[in-house]
């Protein structure tokens, strides 16, 4: 399993091949968006909505053998592409690593071009939601180990 | 020369007109900029940019009170803009022109002064479903404060208001009818003169939100016989931060001041303050002098081309684009009224407007996406938002062709 920074470096490298061409970057996000649409209708509920996003984003998480698996969906493809990058970085990682992570790839690939200043709050909300899941599972683990 | 060129005199001068707009001659995301977000704010000709620079380099001072030469120059320039604005909409006199921050402030001013003074609990204000939030929220606030009722005239499917219901919604309780002249989301042009006649018959005043009409339609407030007409400089090739509120003298004189402070007073003592005459009564504090001064240059720019030629050119773009875009699979125009300004709001089946906006931007095409500050209107159509393409005098048929091709390639990509 690659660690969070290995995956971030991969994304940065992939973006460097796109040579700063916004059209190609958008195409990359759309591909990622289509590939990562994983949630069936039953999970697209009010309680799974990530609050603070301009586009609708639904997210769920499962904890299995010490790692978190995230799944998500969005009503817009490009947002789904952005979420797809976060899924790639965080899914399958340990809660503690997710909480400690520094997402430097966001600045390195110039994410602001896609999300703009107005939407950056929404992107921050997605990251916060993913870290909250990590915190919740970590706390659960702590409680379990203390009681055993 | 093709038939389109022959049809429009403006098109023959288009290269010259475009050369007056420095901002248009740039690459955005590696492609030549195509600016189709004119309903939000249009671009500024070099004459307006130079007028701003000239004012600050040569004439700046505070206005109305100074005795020195610069104060006099700045005052004259500021008041010349007032005269130009009055002439632009054929107001009877320049004292009927109040400078504000924009259309939004103009409507808020009416609600806060006329509304507070003359309306009593149980009175009604009538608007339509197509109004911009700026022509909804100030009235809602007034209704809440004074116990009034806000009545909303519904729309027909094509984006016209259902005027057949107007008579039944007007009564002697109606005190204000406030309608948009041209809808920013749909493009629909409303029959202001006819609505005003009906409003006046029941004793209501007629307020017009002219933000989207001022640069695109011939405005004659005496012919329209409206009581108030609010519009914005930045949507008519002028600087941001300048609004124009026309009001009939009899109302402006009867209304209390909007804000207190310098400029709007005649005499101040701790016992009693008397107010300036109109229009200064409504212009408390140092106004946005430079932008107001440069606004006159924007009016001159429009006058040089002429409204007749502008309307002809923009109608041509509207017709051409409406036909060409409708050929795209799954394309639907929201707002198909027979009388429209150059605004095309649309949805593309199965593709979110947010994705379209970003994909067009990547191709150098600036459009607006979302609810366009008309959320109740979007709700009425059962949609979250649209993509909006809106035209100005500098747009071309070739730009529309590029838009159509770009949308076709996006559709092919996303539906493949």
Q: Measure in Å the smallest separation between the Cα of A112 and chain B Cα atoms.
A: 12
Q: How many CA atoms lie within 13 A of B135 on its CB side?
A: 32
Question: Taking CB atoms and an 8 Å limit, are B363 and A23 in contact across chains?
Answer: yes
Which residues of chain A are within 8 Å of residue B354 when distances are taken between CB atoms? 54-55, 76, 78-79
For residue B293, what is the domain's CATH number? 3.40.640.10
Mutate to test the interface with B, among A19, A20, A22 (most CBs of B within 10 A): A22
Whether B9 is covered by a domain: the verdict is yes
Residue matched to tokens 């409708």: B326
The full 3-state SS of B13-80, as one line of letters, equals CHHHHHHCCHHHCCEECCEECEECECCCCCCCCHHHHHHHHHHHHHHCCCCCCCCCHHHHHHHHHHHH
Q: Measure in Å the smallest separation between the Cα of A22 and chain B Cα atoms.
A: 5
pLDDT value at residue B192: 98
| Nearest CA among B116, B124, B117 for reference residue B175 | B124
Whether B43 is covered by a domain: the verdict is no
Q: Are residues B87 and B22 located together in one domain of the fold? A: no
Q: ipTM, 2 decimals?
A: 0.85
pLDDT value at residue B9: 59
Catalytic residue among B143, B226, B373, B380: B373
Name residues 345-404 of chain B within 8 A of A (Cβ).
Answer: 352, 354-355, 358-359, 361-363
Which residues of chain A are within 8 Å of residue B375 when distances are taken between CB atoms? none
Length, in residues, of chain B = 416
B329 SS3 class: coil
Q: What is the mean pLDDT of residues A137-141?
A: 87
Q: Measure in Å the smallest separation between the Cα of B396 and chain A Cα atoms.
A: 23
Domain boundary among B304, B322, B344: B304
Question: Taking CB atoms and an 8 Å limit, are B362 and A75 in contact across chains?
Answer: no
CATH 3.30.559.30 for domain A4-147, yes or no, is no
Q: Is the pLDDT of residue B1 over 50?
A: no
Q: Are residues B31 and B113 located together in one domain of the fold? A: no
Catalytic residue among A11, A29, A50, A53: A53
Q: Are residues B327 and B386 located together in one domain of the fold? A: yes
Name residues 267-296 of chain B within 8 A of A (Cβ).
Answer: none
Q: Answer for the pair B109, B282: CB distance below 8 angstroms, yes or no.
A: yes
Is B405 touching A (CB cutoff 8 A)?
no
pLDDT value at residue B54: 98
Question: Taking CB atoms and an 8 Å limit, are B30 and A23 in contact across chains?
Answer: yes
Question: Taking CB atoms and an 8 Å limit, are A114 and B30 in contact across chains?
Answer: no
How far apart, in whole angstroms, are the C-alpha atoms of residue B84 and residue A100? Answer: 62
% of chain A residues with pLDDT over 90: 53
Whether B286 is covered by a domain: the verdict is yes
Is B28 touching A (CB cutoff 8 A)?
no
How far apart, in whole angstroms, are the C-alpha atoms of residue B246 and residue B207? Answer: 10
How far apart, in whole angstroms, are the C-alpha atoms of residue B278 and residue B245? Answer: 12
Q: What is the mean pLDDT of residues B269-287?
A: 93
pLDDT value at residue B4: 52
Q: Is the pLDDT of residue A119 over 80?
A: no
Q: Are residues B176 and B325 located together in one domain of the fold? A: no
- Tens of pLDDT along B96-145? 999 999 999 999 999 999 999 999 999 999 999 999 999 999 999 999 99
Is A76 touching B (CB cutoff 8 A)?
yes
Positions of E strands within A1-148? 57-64, 67-74
How far apart, in whole angstroms, are the C-alpha atoms of residue B309 and residue B302? Answer: 10
pLDDT value at residue A118: 65
Query: What is the chain A residue with the closest CA to B353?
Result: A76
Q: What is the mean pLDDT of residues B161-177?
A: 97
Q: Are residues B132 and B16 located together in one domain of the fold? A: no
Is A18 touching B (CB cutoff 8 A)?
no
Q: Measure in Å the smallest separation between the Cα of A31 and chain B Cα atoms.
A: 10
Q: What is the mean pLDDT of residues B315-338?
A: 97
Lowest mean pLDDT among A20-24, A130-134, B333-337: A20-24
Question: Taking CB atoms and an 8 Å limit, are B352 and A55 in contact across chains?
Answer: yes
| Burial class, B147, CB count within 10 angstroms (exposed 0-12 / middle 13-18 / buried 19+) | exposed
How far apart, in whole angstroms, are the C-alpha atoms of residue B52 and residue B290? Answer: 6
For residue B406, what is the domain's CATH number? 3.90.1150.10
Average per-residue pLDDT for chain B: 95
Report residue A36's pLDDT band, with 50, 70 and 90 as the boundaries.
confident
Q: Answer for the pair B251, B113: CB distance below 8 angstroms, yes or no.
A: no
Q: Is the pLDDT of residue B273 over 50?
A: yes
Is A55 touching B (CB cutoff 8 A)?
yes
Which residues of chain A are within 8 Å of residue B413 when distances are taken between CB atoms? 27, 30
Question: For chain B, what is the domain count?
Answer: 2
Q: What is the mean pLDDT of residues B166-172?
A: 97
Structure tokens at B177: 């009818």
How far apart, in whole angstroms, are the C-alpha atoms of residue A75 and residue B350? Answer: 10
**CA distances for B230 relative to B178, B180, B227, angstroms:** 11, 10, 10
Q: What is the mean pLDDT of residues B55-68?
A: 94
Whether B355 is covered by a domain: the verdict is yes
Max mean pLDDT among A21-30, A105-114, B66-75, B85-94 falls in B85-94
pLDDT value at residue A20: 76
Which residues of chain A are within 8 Å of residue B355 when distances are taken between CB atoms? 30, 76-78
Domain range for B386 is 3-38+306-414
Q: What is the mean pLDDT of residues B381-394?
A: 96
Q: Measure in Å the smallest separation between the Cα of B383 and chain A Cα atoms.
A: 13
Q: Are residues B383 and B324 located together in one domain of the fold? A: yes
Question: Taking CB atoms and an 8 Å limit, are A76 and B352 in contact across chains?
Answer: yes
Which residues is B340 bridged to in the sheet?
Answer: B188
B291 SS3 class: helix
Q: Can you say whether the dihedral through the CA atoms of A44, A45, A48, A53 is positive or negative? A: positive
Q: Are residues B109 and B27 located together in one domain of the fold? A: no
Domain boundary among B271, B304, B337: B304
Going by C-beta distance under 8 Å and a sequence separation of 6 or more, which residues neighbour residue A56? A49, A74, A75, A76
Question: Taking CB atoms and an 8 Å limit, are A22 and B361 in contact across chains?
Answer: yes
> How many pairs of residues across A and B have Cβ atoms under 8 Å apart?
33
Is B414 touching A (CB cutoff 8 A)?
yes
Is A37 touching B (CB cutoff 8 A)?
no
Q: Are residues B231 and B325 located together in one domain of the fold? A: no
How far apart, in whole angstroms, are the C-alpha atoms of residue B247 and residue B89? Answer: 11
Q: Is the pLDDT of residue A51 over 90?
A: no
Q: Are residues B249 and B105 located together in one domain of the fold? A: yes
Is A53 annotated as catalytic? yes
Which residues of chain A are within 8 Å of residue B30 when distances are taken between CB atoms? 21-23
Q: Is the pLDDT of residue A39 over 90?
A: no
pLDDT value at residue B11: 67
Q: Are residues B293 and B329 located together in one domain of the fold? A: no
Q: Are residues B215 and B231 located together in one domain of the fold? A: yes
Q: Answer for the pair A74, A58: CB distance below 8 angstroms, yes or no.
A: yes
Question: Taking CB atoms and an 8 Å limit, are B354 and A23 in contact across chains?
Answer: no
Q: Answer for the pair B386, B372: CB distance below 8 angstroms, yes or no.
A: yes
pLDDT value at residue A22: 85
Q: Are residues B149 and B220 located together in one domain of the fold? A: yes
Q: Answer for the pair A62, A90: CB distance below 8 angstroms, yes or no.
A: no
- For the packed helices B397-414 and B307-326, what is the interaxial angle rounded to 10 degrees? 20
Length, in residues, of chain A = 148
pLDDT value at residue B342: 98
How far apart, in whole angstroms, are the C-alpha atoms of residue A50 and residue A73? Answer: 10
Query: What is the chain A residue with the closest CA to B371?
Result: A54
Which of B30, B352, B413 has the CB atom closest to A21's CB atom? B30
Whether B326 is covered by a domain: the verdict is yes
């Amino acid at each position: 399993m690659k660690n969070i920074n290995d995956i971030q470096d991969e994304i940065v490298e992939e973006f460097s091949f796109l040579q700063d061409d916004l059209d190609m970057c958008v195409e990359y996000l759309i591909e990622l968006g289509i590939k990562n649409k994983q949630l069936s209708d039953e999970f697209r509920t009010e309680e799974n909505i990530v609050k603070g996003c301009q586009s609708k984003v639904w997210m769920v998480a499962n904890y299995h053998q010490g790692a978190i698996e995230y799944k998500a969906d969005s009503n817009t493809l490009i947002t789904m592409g952005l979420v797809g990058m976060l899924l790639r970085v965080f899914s399958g990682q340990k809660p503690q690593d997710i909480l400690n992570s520094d997402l430097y790839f966001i600045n390195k690939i110039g994410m602001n071009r896609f999300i703009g200043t107005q939407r950056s709050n929404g992107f921050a909300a997605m990251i916060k939601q993913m870290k909250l899941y990590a915190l919740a599972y970590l706390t659960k683990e702590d409680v379990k180990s203390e009681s055993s | 020369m093709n038939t389109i060129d022959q049809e429009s005199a403006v098109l023959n001068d288009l290269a010259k007109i475009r050369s007056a707009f420095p901002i248009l001659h740039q690459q955005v995301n590696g492609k030549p900029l195509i600016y189709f977000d004119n309903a939000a704010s249009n671009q500024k000709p070099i004459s307006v940019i130079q007028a701003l620079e000239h004012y600050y380099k040569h004439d700046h001072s505070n206005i109305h009170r100074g005795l020195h030469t610069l104060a006099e120059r700045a005052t004259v320039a500021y008041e010349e803009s007032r005269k130009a604005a009055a002439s632009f909409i054929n107001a009877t006199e320049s004292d009927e022109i109040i400078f504000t921050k924009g259309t939004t402030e103009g409507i808020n001013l009416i609600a806060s002064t006329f509304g507070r003074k003359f309306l009593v609990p149980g009175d009604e204000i009538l608007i339509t479903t197509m109004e911009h939030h700026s022509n909804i929220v100030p009235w809602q606030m007034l209704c809440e404060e004074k116990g009034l009722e806000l009545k909303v005239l519904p729309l027909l499917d094509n984006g016209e208001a259902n005027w057949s219901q107007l008579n039944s919604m007007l009564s002697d309780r109606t005190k204000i009818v406030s309608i948009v002249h041209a809808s920013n989301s749909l493009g629909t042009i409303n029959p202001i003169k006819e609505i005003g006649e009906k409003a006046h018959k029941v004793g209501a005043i007629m307020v017009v939100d002219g933000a989207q009409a001022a640069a695109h339609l011939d405005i004659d407030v005496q012919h329209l016989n409206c009581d108030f007409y609010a519009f914005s400089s930045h949507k008519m090739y002028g600087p941001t931060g300048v609004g124009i509120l026309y009001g009939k003298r009899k109302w402006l004189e009867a209304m209390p001041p909007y804000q207190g402070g310098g400029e709007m007073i005649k005499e101040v003592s701790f016992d009693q303050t008397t107010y300036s005459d109109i229009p200064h009564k409504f212009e408390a504090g140092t106004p946005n002098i430079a932008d107001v001064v440069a606004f006159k240059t924007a009016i001159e720019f429009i006058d040089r081309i002429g409204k007749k030629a502008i309307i002809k050119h923009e109608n041509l773009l509207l017709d051409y684009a409406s036909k060409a875009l409708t050929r795209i699979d799954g394309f639907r125009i929201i707002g198909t009224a027979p009388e429209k300004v150059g605004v095309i709001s649309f949805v593309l089946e199965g593709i979110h407007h947010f994705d379209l906006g970003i994909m067009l931007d990547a191709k150098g095409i600036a459009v607006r996406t979302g609810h366009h500050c008309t959320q109740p209107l979007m709700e009425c159509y059962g949609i979250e938002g649209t993509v909006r393409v809106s035209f100005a005098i500098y747009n071309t048929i070739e730009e529309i062709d590029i838009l159509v091709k770009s949308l076709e390639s996006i559709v092919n990509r996303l539906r493949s």
